[in-house]
Amino acid sequence: MTVPPPDVVRSAYAQLAVTDLAAARWFWVDMLGLHVQHAGDRTLYLRGTDELTHHSLVLREGPVAALDHLAYRVRTAADVDRAEAFFRALGRPVRRVPAGAGAHGVGDAVRVLDPLGFPVEFFHEIARGERLIQRYDLHRGAHIARLDHFNICTPDISAAYDHYRSLGFGCSETIEGDGHELYAAWMYRKQTVHDVAFTGGAGPRLHHVGMATHESHQVLRTADVFGSLGKEHHIERGPGRHGVSNAFYVYLRDPDGHRVELYTSDYYTGDPDHETFRWNVRDDRRRDFWGNAVIESWYKEASPVLDLDGAVQPVAEAALDESAVRVGADGLGTSAEAPAGS
Ligand SMILES: [Fe+2]
């Protein structure tokens, strides 16, 4: 018997373990402008200007910089129970987290270690936040509007695709080889390009959290300000235009190396017959529409992931390596094997 999945509304928040909360606050609050909704003992709860729920990012000070957990909001309280039944049927580790025992402001929740090895929470109830969208006097830094998505490193993209399809996610875009083998996929529940995307590589690891701004000039200005302060080493890649998603982007690294993407201008995916757009892995526009090279750290570096007891998890290596695919002079290139010993 197939156990029905919970009705997932959207990617809701990420909780990151950081080693120096003051340094993390400088980056996420002073530089990026996230609003501090609640400051706990060694924890900060942050959100963007458009978010009406309590938080979309939690920073918790701890001994190791890592992903603590990802969280999805589900449609009803009964969907929290459905999440528990769904992951128990898969034989995965499952914990009930009663209101008050987990994240501040979040009601009864379920935390699981999913089949990809990620700690994932499903919750319905969450405290409200004051409407800030027109509190322009409070907008700072990158003027982040909201959390948009998670991007996770996982060694088997097809397995990740199958798991999220079983949770009812649609697929907006893929990167595929000539035999349609999956190098990456973008999957959604809310009506945008994605709530979660998969980057091939050793995993489970967190590649980045995506934070949405309203306009591309906010992405550009953020890069300018990092440069002005001599903090340009926090800028890893971009600004640029993605082929996949069409988003305008810049990737930054926080003081612990956690990666964030400032992201704007993707598109609507809510029609029931929305079709997957498929990129060939040899199309050099897929990762940057202008053909700018992707630096190696972006492909290779990512945050470790904790298990439900807070221990760093081991990773498995990926079979496919998108960074080893070479693009040739004809603009389409060839799928080359990495040289031996490279
Ligand atoms: Fe992203």
From ligand 1's centre to the CA of 99, what distance in Å? 30
From ligand 1's centre to the CA of 311, what distance in Å? 26
**Percent of all residues in the chain with a pLDDT value above 70, rounded to a whole number:** 95
pLDDT in tens, 7-66: 999 999 999 999 999 999 999 999 999 999 999 889 999 999 999 999 999 999 999 999
From ligand 1's centre to the CA of 316, what distance in Å? 22
From ligand 1's centre to the CA of 82, what distance in Å? 28
Q: How far apart are CA 18 and CA 24, in angstroms?
A: 7
From ligand 1's centre to the CA of 3, what distance in Å? 31
From ligand 1's centre to the CA of 41, what distance in Å? 30
From ligand 1's centre to the CA of 237, what distance in Å? 12
From ligand 1's centre to the CA of 292, what distance in Å? 17
From ligand 1's centre to the CA of 151, what distance in Å? 6
Give phi and psi for 276, each to the nearest 5. -70, 130
Amino acid letter at 21?
L
Q: Which residues surround ligand 1, an ion (CB under 5 A)?
A: 151, 210, 261
Amino acid letter at 260?
V
From ligand 1's centre to the CA of 208, what distance in Å? 7
pLDDT in tens, 91-138: 999 999 999 999 999 999 999 999 999 999 999 999 999 999 999 999
Q: Is the peptide bond before 314 cis (omega within 30 degrees of 0)?
A: no
pTM: 0.95
pLDDT in tens, 228-286: 999 999 999 999 999 999 999 999 999 999 999 999 999 999 999 999 999 999 999 99
User: Quick check: helix, strand or coil at residue 208?
Assistant: strand
Q: How far apart are CA 245 and CA 292, in angstroms?
A: 16
From ligand 1's centre to the CA of 303, what distance in Å? 14
Can you give the pLDDT at residue 328?
A: 56
Strands 248-253 and 43-47: unpaired
Q: How far apart are CA 71 and CA 105, in angstroms?
A: 13
From ligand 1's centre to the CA of 171, what distance in Å? 15
From ligand 1's centre to the CA of 89, what distance in Å? 31
